[in-house]
Amino acid sequence: MRIVALSDTHGRHGEMEVPDGDLLLHAGDFTKRGGRGEVEAFDRFLALLPHPHKVVIAGNHDFLFQDEPEAARSILRHATYLEDTEAEVLGLRIWGSPWQPWFFDWAFNLQRGPEIRAKWDLIPSGIDILLTHGPPLGHGDVTVRGEAVGCADLLDAVARVRPRLHVFGHIHEGYGTTREGGTTLVNASTCDVRYRAVNPPIVLDL
């Protein structure tokens, strides 16, 4: 199966070339401020893509999914939206979750420790693909200031569940791929720290 992973596109969908594949994964922040019009534009972008399967989660910019979840989900008609839920695609189990450790006053913030750990504890065993907005500690999580800001509890969850693939974004400057154990970890951020759509989608064969 060919998987095309992207994240943090921030409305710049017309500036990127998306390779074809069997499954498109988007790890959130497809808008700038999460307005209804931005979500509608993202859905129109998804409708034009040829991928037969598309799975999406929200990110910290995608406020409509936090503040008006029913309205937001009704707009997103050309993808499967996950929020602490699972979907099965071509025999692969995918779990998606939008949360990240508290980040200024953005959406889907939770405090580090027990509050966010409770979300990661929901991830069931046997997941093949984990889709989160924020990175686990030590993987694609280093900022321009040199700080590793990933979530330690998410890293523990990855070690527990051992998915074949973990796709995330959020830290634009962390773009790239790493491996730990049997898991491939992908920061698929399309935009760089200046919100320029310069990083191509990451293609993987699973």
Q: What is the 3-state secondary structure (H, E, C) of 193-206?
A: CCCCECCCCEEEEC
Number of helices (H), then strands (E), in the chain = 5, 13
Task: Specify the 3-state DSSP secondary structure of 40.
Answer: helix
- Please give the Cα distance from 164 to 179 (Å, whole number): 10
Q: Is the pLDDT of residue 31 over 90?
A: yes
User: Any idea where the domains of the chain sit in the sequence?
Assistant: 2-205
Q: What pLDDT, on a 0 to 100 scale, did the predictor assign at position 94?
A: 98
Q: Is the pLDDT of residue 15 over 90?
A: yes
Q: Write out the two tokens for 147.
A: 């700080």
Predicted TM-score of the model (pTM): 0.97
Instruction: Name the nearest CA neighbour of 171 among 132, 126, 118.
Output: 132
Kindly give, in sequence order, each residue whose CB lies less than 8 Å from that of residue 37, ignoring residues fewer than 6 positions away. none
Judge whether 141 and 132 are in contact, CB under 8 Å: no
CA atoms within a 13 Å half-sphere pointing along the CA-CB vector of 27: 33
- Please give the Cα distance from 111 to 135 (Å, whole number): 15
Round the average pLDDT of the chain to a whole number and report it: 97
Judge whether 33 and 195 are in contact, CB under 8 Å: no
Judge whether 202 and 183 are in contact, CB under 8 Å: no
Chosen CATH of 2-205 out of 3.60.21.10, 1.10.10.410, 3.20.20.70, 3.40.50.2300: 3.60.21.10
The confidence band for 104, taking pLDDT boundaries of 50, 70 and 90, is: confident
- Please give the Cα distance from 8 to 138 (Å, whole number): 19
The confidence band for 105, taking pLDDT boundaries of 50, 70 and 90, is: confident
Q: What pLDDT, on a 0 to 100 scale, did the predictor assign at position 115?
A: 97
Q: For residue range 145-199, what is the model confidence (pLDDT) as tens digits?
A: 999 999 999 999 999 999 999 999 999 999 999 999 999 999 999 999 999 999 9
